[in-house]
Structure 1
Amino acid sequence: MERLQPRALSVLVGLAALTIALAGLRGVAGIVGPAFLALVLIITVYPVRVWLVKHHVPGWLASVILLLSVYALMILVTLALVISVGRLAVLVPDYTPQINGYVTDVTAWLQDRGVGSDQVNAIKDSFDVGSLVGVATDILSGILGVLSDIFFIMTLLLFLAFDAAPTMKVVGTLADHKPDVVAGLASFASGTRSYMAVSAGFGFIVAVVDVGALLIIGVPGAFIWGVLAFVTNFIPNVGFVIGVVPPAVIALLDGGPGLMIAVVIIYSVINFVIQSVIQPRFVGDAVGLSATLTFISLVFWAWAVGPLGALLAVPLSLLFKALLVEADPDARWALPLISGKVPAAD
């Protein structure tokens, strides 16, 4: 009993501190999200600078090339999102007659089965054109909203690009004094780099295949849905569902149930082969998060940071795992619980 009371008190104090920290995090989410995005981009592209330096490129020039590479990546993604949001805003209203027709059919079907007129009218009034593809609009617009703060992100990237090398040297000097912290940070950087690089690579492949398939079967807005597929590939577990619903709805409105079923089947096959079979083999054990914990982290970071938190859920979780578990020898017993894998026998 003498040990239980202090331990319970420590847990309560920890929970109270966590609650305060989360309230503060939500209050500064508009800064934390873009700042962490800039950090993740630098970490992902940093091997380019290492390669250049090994090939006798001056350090300052390697940092400039690193910075320009990240800038080019951001500009390409921003342009793709701007075009997609604009085309989506033009595309959706064109299907107002079809949507109204489906709503009328559904309300008539409900009335035939004895549903009251008040309830039917409430359901009918709740439908609007934008809500049917609102998830796609929210995601694309949310990410575009973050990238629209381009001055802050690009300025931060400028400092990060030139501070990256000195910071790495400083961290290296701490290895003798704080080996566990350095090892944890190295694990975070390696896991983040693997996750982001593989997700971007396979997201591009999925987007290209999706666009090609949608063009062949004649679904409008193929480029929009390709950009959405690329973005949602960074969202673990539910990204595929978010990516398939909007084009399936448009296919239903444009070509009927047959075209919608074709879209669902094509997306399901592509998702299973690329995202469920091939992609995990390339990521390997770098992430070290169980499927359940990954889903919980997705919900938590989306709540704490906003739409960008859903895209950066895995890197954010890797950072906290590195700082709170991997950097603390007394807490490493939790690593098998976090990864969901039984440690190998000695």
Structure 2
Amino acid sequence: STFSSVIVITIAACLIIAGFVGLTALSLNSVVADLPQYQQDFNARLADVSTMLAPLGVSDLVSTPPSLDFGDVLSFGVSSATVAGDMLMFLFFVGVLSFFMLLEVPAITDRLENRFGRASDTMQSFSRMIGYVIDFIVVRTETNFIHGVLFGGFLGLIGVHGAIMWGTLTFILGYIPFFGLIIAAVPAIFLAWLQFGVPGALAVIFVVCVLNLLVENPVYSYLAARKFEMPALIVIFSVIFWGWLLGLVGMLLSVPFTLMILLSFQLSDELRWINVTLGVNHLFEDTSGKSKEPE
């Protein structure tokens, strides 16, 4: 039955999420335990930089650098973990809401069909566009998962501490267009520099570039039934606006939120011109390539 299927899917999703959270927590604990060692490594790396710059006569710039107290870093990490906990609580309520929404889908579908008719243009357009938004979220999630697993696996292979945590961070921040993957890579690059020096940092940077080229282009295009192309200006504005309005959660969900608004414009004869002006009306065209023209 539908109820049993929803129960099974929800339980499986919760178990998977709980497993990732547990592994990430263990990875975070290992990083925190090694903070004193990171302090020593940081001082040693600065000494190496000072030695390299000495022949250029600019070693004084790093000979007495402002000290970086990793205790302060820990405090920042704790506050960040608190924010992450609040976000997980928010996502938990979203999951509960999604659970009940899944139970209501058959009834909602019947109501819409009774109101508009099974074969009406409005019903078909609505179903097609909702499917498009869902496809985007699914494809983005699959791509982020592949990216996070490959990045975390590489970090673990070369011995960077907290590899699981950095892979999870890549998976989560990958929902933020353009900026998310870069932000997620910065801590891993810094830690690779502390552990292995410049060669380690360069190796991680190289892998980040390769993964961006491979995962974000051919893999993403392969997983997508079509290319989810939106003008870059609209995407950046969406990230800024939803981030300002809802914080990190808004940045993560900026594209789905924007797609829902554009969907409502496309369904309205009076507002469809906005999508045409923005150049996004093609996103909601049917599979035959014909969009619903204004009446």
Out of 326, 335, 339, the residue aligned to residue 266 of structure 2 is: 326
Residues 1:316 and 2:246 aligned together: no
Deviates more, 1:246-255 or 1:139-148: 139-148
Match of 1:162 in 2: 103
Contact map agreement 1:139 1:307 (CA 8 A) in 2: no
- The sequence identity of aligned pairs, in percent, is 20
Match of 2:8? 65
The answer on 1:210 being equivalent to 2:131 is no
Distance 1:137 1:81 in 2: 14
Whole-Å separation in 2 of the counterparts to 1:232 and 1:291: 18
Moved more, 246-255 or 297-306: 297-306
Return the alpha-carbon distance in structure 1 between the equivalents of residues 71 and 243 of structure 2: 22
Aligned residue in 2 for 1:148 = 89
| Distance change >3 Å, CA 91–CA 320, structure 1 → 2 | farther
Give the letter aligned to residue 242 of structure 1: I
1:270 aligns with 2:211: yes
> Which residue does the alignment assign to 2:136?
195
Deviation at 1:221, TM superposition (A): 1.9
Alpha carbons of structure 1 residues 149 and 211: separation in structure 2 relative to 1, 3 Å: closer
Structure 1, unaligned stretches of length 5 or more?
1-57
Q: Aligned-pair RMSD on alpha carbons? A: 4.0
Give me the whole-angstrom Cα distance separating, in 1, the residues matched to 2:181 and 2:92.
Answer: 32
Aligned equivalents of 2:77, 2:113: Cα separation in 1: 43
Q: What is the one-letter code of the residue matched to 1:227?
A: T
Q: How many pairs are equivalent?
A: 282
- CA 1:155–1:223 in 2, change beyond 3 Å: closer, same or farther? closer
- Aligned positions of 1:203-242 closer than 5 A: 203-242=144-183
Task: Give the aligned partner of residue 40 of structure 2.
Answer: 97
Deviations 1:29-55 (A, max 9, x none): xxxxxxxxxxxxxxxxxxxxxxxxxxx
Structure 1 residues 340 and 135: alpha-carbon distance in aligned structure 2, compared to 1, 3 A threshold: farther
Aligned-partner Cα distance in 1 for 2:224–2:69: 40
The alpha-carbon deviation at position 137 of structure 1 amounts to 8.0
CA 1:182–1:102: 2 relative to 1, 3 Å: farther
Q: 2:184 aligns with which of 214, 239, 243?
A: 243
Q: Aligned partners of 2:178, 2:154: CA distance in 1, in Å?
A: 23
CA separation of 1:261 and 1:170: change in aligned 2, threshold 3 A: same
Runs of 4 or more, structure 1, over 6 Å off, are: 104-110, 130-140, 340-346
- TM-superposed deviation, 1:83: 3.6
**Greater relative contact order, per chain length (Cα 8 Å cut-off, separation 6+):** 1
Distance, in Å, in 2 between the alignment partners of 1:150 and 1:345 is: 37
Q: Return the alpha-carbon distance in structure 2 between the equivalents of residues 210 and 247 of structure 1.
A: 10
TM-score w.r.t. the length of structure 2 is: 0.76
Which shows bigger deviation, 253-262 or 155-164? Answer: 155-164
Letter in 2 for 1:160: M
Counterpart in the other structure of 1:124? 66
Take 2:36 and 2:125, find their aligned partners in 1: how far apart are those partners?
Answer: 50
1-side partners of 2:75 and 2:268: how far apart?
43
Distance in 2 (CA, whole Å) between partners of 1:186 and 1:305 is 28
Partner Cα separation in structure 2 for residue 185 and residue 198 of structure 1: 20
Task: Show CA shifts across 1:68-122 (max 9, x none).
Answer: 3443344344434434444443344531123345567779979x65999xxx98x
Instruction: State the TM-score, normalizing by the size of structure 1.
Output: 0.66
Q: Note if contact 1:88-1:224 (Cα within 8 Å) is conserved in structure 2.
A: no
Residue 135 to residue 146, structure 1, CA distance change in 2 (3 Å): same
Alpha-carbon spacing, 1:163–1:234, altered in 2? closer, same or farther (3 Å): same
SS at match of 2:223: helix
Structure 2 counterpart of 1:90, which letter?
A
Amino acid at match of 2:100: F
Contact 1:88 1:221 in 2 (8 A): yes
Which secondary structure does the structure 2 equivalent of 1:148 belong to? Answer: helix
The amino acid across from 1:164 in the alignment is V
Judged with a 3 Å threshold, the aligned counterparts in structure 2 of structure 1 residues 184 and 100 are, in CA distance, closer, same or farther, namely farther
C-alpha distance in 1 between matches for 2:240 and 2:48: 35
- What is the CA–CA distance in structure 2 between the aligned matches of 1:135 and 1:187, rounded to whole Å? 45
